[in-house]
Chains A and B, each alone.
Chain A
């Protein structure tokens, strides 16, 4: 009796398997859902032309300065045996536009030996931009200073109160930021100060 029951159960299971298989085959042949997305493309074109710099750097009368190709970067060398250098670089406008300029430290090395140092912009009035005191940068960025429009208009960069506690070579890596007034469009020129 139990054998007959077992046989019936097996038959039912087989039928169920065949039924499931049939349904699966039919389902897989059914049309699939189409999944899509709606999108569109906008076009942005950029035209970038190499142009002459509207503001250039020129050598100063104090310390030693090197102006690199196209006058948009420079290296200044001064020694800590002299306290004041007026002036180490000139920032000269080549265009009719007004600009505001300021200095900002972006890197440094071996400045622990510098007891004091100020780097300023001036043209009549003076604006202290960078300060080092006791081997640390105490002012890393200066306020915007006006560079008037017109070819030849100039702002000067000078160093004052330079003192070192030990011998060695220190570096200050500085951006000269030249800003179109009333906007946030600006150029960054790299100036390296080497202090021996």
Chain B
């Protein structure tokens, strides 16, 4: 039987067309060419940045995109730095969103030294009041993060507005002077 004698109805023809189309589309993906990208990387000030606030703890360092807060914690007394550091939106036209994300803490979970703290809280405020927070509370010998994911939602700072972080520390009555903890938090900003 010769191939030319095989009958091709319309459906078979469309199927052939379809398969040919797929083949063309697939083959198309394998064709490539090179383009040239010349990035220009300019050092500039971030649109959202840290800046010093009235209750910045003594010995702290605040730079545009990095800050280190050297706080104290007293046994059985809540210590509050009402405005520890500002987060300012320097963009006069657009709002920008940011979130707080836990990165690391020492002493780590399982270390009995964790029992020298009851809570360390980073609460974000604006002129209308409390907005959101990232909190570390203790269930000896572990830190409990709130929210438990270690990440807050994104919140939008309106153009040219400044929000601030209220830092609260609390140690149990039997906490031992000289112990310290280090916390690293990322502030992720959507440009």
Contact = CB atoms under 8 A, between A and B. Distances in A.
B185 A46 contact: yes
B160 interface: no
A41 interface: yes
B187 A51 contact: no
A131 to B, nearest CB: 25
Contact of B173 (A39, A41, A70): A70
Given A50-B116, A72-B77, A188-B77, A45 B177 contact: no
Contacts of A188: 77-78, 80
Contact of B191 (A21, A38, A52, A68): A38
Interface in B89-123: 100, 103, 116-117, 120, 122
B180 A47 contact: yes
A70 B176 CA distance: 10
A22 B23 CA distance: 12
B69 A49 contact: no
A98 to B, nearest CB: 15
Contacts of B29: 29
Given A45-B67, A45-B68, A52 B177 contact: yes
A37 to B, nearest CB: 6
A49 B179 contact: yes
A25 interface: yes
B76 A41 contact: no
A46 B73 contact: no
B169 interface: yes
B184 A18 contact: no
Q: Is the interface of B mostly helix, strand, loop or mixed?
A: strand
A35 interface: no
A185 B28 CA distance: 66
Contacts, number: 186
Nearest to A29: B25
B74 A51 contact: yes
B122 A46 contact: yes
B82 interface: yes
Contacts of B173: 68-70, 72-73
Most buried by B among A14, A30, A41, A50: A50
Given A14-B11, A48-B72, A50-B178, A26 B184 contact: no
B142 interface: no
Nearest to B65: A42
B75 A72 contact: yes
A44 B69 contact: yes
A5 interface: no
Contact of A68 (B21, B49, B76, B120): B76
Contact of B75 (A26, A38, A41, A50): A50
B178 to A, nearest CB: 7
Given A44-B67, A46-B120, A47-B180, A39 B76 contact: no
A53 B17 contact: no
B48 A46 contact: no
Interface of B: 10-11, 14, 17-18, 21-22, 25-26, 28-29, 46, 48-50, 54-55, 57, 64-83, 85, 100, 103, 116-117, 120, 122, 165, 167, 169, 171, 173-191
Interface of A: 11, 14-15, 18, 21-22, 25-26, 29-30, 37-53, 68-70, 72-73, 183-190
12 contacts: A39-B190, A40-B65, A41-B188, A42-B187, A43-B67, A46-B120, A48-B180, A50-B72, A50-B116, A50-B171, A73-B76, A184-B83
